[in-house]
Amino acid sequence: MTMNQKTFLPAPKFSLNDINESILKAEYAIRGTIPNRAEELDIQLLENSKSLPFAKIVYANIGNPQQLDQQPLTFQRQVMSLVQFPDLLKSKDILLAQKIYSKDSIERATKLLNSIGGSVGAYSSSQGVLDIRKNVARFILKRDLHHDPTQDLIDETASNVFLTAGASTAVDHILPLFAKDESCGVLLPIPQYPLYTAAVTLQKSKLLPYYLNESNNWSTDPKQIEQIVIDAIKQNIKPTTLVVINPGNPTGAILTKDSIIDIIDIAAEYGIVIIADEVYQENVYEAFEFHSFKKVLSELRKNYPSKYDNVQLASLHSISKGVNGECGQRGGYMEITGFSNDVKKVLLKVASISICSVVTGQILVDLMVNPPQPGDESYELDQLERSVIHSNLILKSNTLYDVFTRLPGISCQKPQGAMYLFPRLHLSENAINAATELNLKPDEFYCLKLLENTGICTVPGSGFGQYPGTYHLRTTFLPPGIEWINSWEKFHLEFMEKYK
């Protein structure tokens, strides 16, 4: 067959020069150089398991609980499997008689299927399934008020809840609204979770870093924040957004109620939107107490009528962390408070551009905020599973923390929450010079050597931001067992000896 072919010179492919510059600039260290190297080593181990001084990679670079052996909660997975394959419900007598499913998981799955209109394969409304948003509202109100809320309050709160595909999507939706261009500034804690620096870079807005105080357990200093706001305004930058991560990632620090009040005061005085990333609110250890921004703002509004009416707050939560650890299933919510109806409509439009968040993720949000209650068949098992996961996390965090506190050349603040330790590395000049020779940052050099000698994959502190001249790394304490900690200890002592 002959084709009537036009003659032309083929156009070249796009190169990096053609790509949106802010996308090239944006960085996300958690899946950056060290984790990429870890993946290469993982493949090498698959091809030849004896080719490296360790048998497997320990992925301590990311808070990915179920990759590191955390078990899913039975009740949640029972419901999930039923909503995925509702035909099972036709045989519910058999499922119950054989004790394959609990009675309340069958009831919940039936109810949820009803709420979503029958199938997880169908789109939901863009804001999220209304019944689920009402359960989120009940959860928020009970968490903050400690008593059963009225129906009116539930309905009003539910109207301000957006179900999202994890907290990351919530940030993608809300941050660009107020990070318009280079004339807008976004206040970010340093160190921070790099989703935020990346999001601000993508928007070509101005990063306004505020440093957390390491020597005072990574506390937040509202006076410093206010000074940064004042300085930015002097330079014609409008600080529009202030991000707080509470409990902190990577620091594990929990904000005191007084600091939260001071931050809200700044937002009220200078008209700054607060994004309160509270995805680790369940990961709170021992004597520390989590105060939600929403609760503190509501109290201020009640105690000082009109002063705080214009404060605009977006609070984020997720199924990825806590004792759920369902990060692969992508679910979360954003609750907005104090925004005008016009802005709310824009947010709804933004959500509608991606049609809706994953419906199974929405269902997991329901299960997170509305777990089995006393008297339900699953209640005791669910409570047991939760408390085992929670106490395991405390045990693991303390074990790793204890090792770091006794090793030379490393110091570490005691974690109050979240899933990470962010120890400081006190590196010698020799180590710094060796890094420079390889064109690596000193903390990157340490993390690379740690990976290549032990298989432990961490993230250099430079990926989160750190005070100039200091070096850190972030590790989760999630990996099971103690061997990886022992091999880290051995590596560290050898590294310190080699680069004295």
Ligand X SMILES: Cc1ncc(COP(=O)(O)O)c(C=O)c1O
Tell me which residues touch ligand X (CB under 6 A). 63, 166-168, 193, 195, 245, 249, 277, 279, 318, 320, 327, 332
For the bound state, the minimum distance from the C-beta of residue 143 to ligand X, rounded and expressed in Å, comes to: 18
For the bound state, the minimum distance from the C-beta of residue 165 to ligand X, rounded and expressed in Å, comes to: 7
For the bound state, the minimum distance from the C-beta of residue 258 to ligand X, rounded and expressed in Å, comes to: 22
113 vs 274, which CB is nearer to ligand X?
Answer: 274
For the bound state, the minimum distance from the C-beta of residue 130 to ligand X, rounded and expressed in Å, comes to: 21
For the bound state, the minimum distance from the C-beta of residue 13 to ligand X, rounded and expressed in Å, comes to: 32
Distance CA 68, CA 479 (A): 5
Question: In terms of Cα–Cα distance, which of 280, 315, 279 is closest to 297?
Answer: 315
Q: Strand ranges (DSSP E) for 43-160?
A: 58-59
167 vs 273, which CB is nearer to ligand X?
Answer: 167
166 vs 191, which CB is nearer to ligand X?
Answer: 166
For the bound state, the minimum distance from the C-beta of residue 320 to ligand X, rounded and expressed in Å, comes to: 3
What do you get for the CA distance between the two ends of the chain, in Å? 75
64 vs 378, which CB is nearer to ligand X?
Answer: 64
200 vs 327, which CB is nearer to ligand X?
Answer: 327
For the bound state, the minimum distance from the C-beta of residue 124 to ligand X, rounded and expressed in Å, comes to: 18
With 0-12 / 13-18 / 19 or more C-beta atoms within 10 angstroms meaning exposed / middle / buried, residue 390 is middle
> Which residue is at the shortest CB distance from ligand X?
166
Any bridge partners for residue 471, and if so which?
425
Distance CA 97, CA 87 (A): 17
Long-range contacts of the stretch 292-299 (C-beta < 8 A, 24+): 292/140, 292/143, 292/144, 293/244, 293/246, 293/260, 293/264, 294/140, 294/144, 294/335, 294/337, 295/143, 295/144, 295/145, 296/257, 296/260, 296/261, 296/264, 297/264, 297/337, 297/338, 298/144
User: What are the structure tokens assigned to 391, written together?
Assistant: 């106490």
417 vs 442, which CB is nearer to ligand X?
Answer: 417
Distance CA 457, CA 192 (A): 19
Give the other-Cβ count within 10 Å of 37's Cβ: 16
Would you give the distance in Å from CA 281 to the centre of its chain? Answer: 10
Three-state DSSP state, 186: strand
35 vs 409, which CB is nearer to ligand X?
Answer: 35
Contact 158, 213 (CB under 8 A): no
Q: Taking the alpha carbons of 282, 396, 45, 52 in that order, is the dihedral positive or negative?
A: positive
For the bound state, the minimum distance from the C-beta of residue 478 to ligand X, rounded and expressed in Å, comes to: 12
For the bound state, the minimum distance from the C-beta of residue 166 to ligand X, rounded and expressed in Å, comes to: 3
35 vs 166, which CB is nearer to ligand X?
Answer: 166
101 vs 196, which CB is nearer to ligand X?
Answer: 196
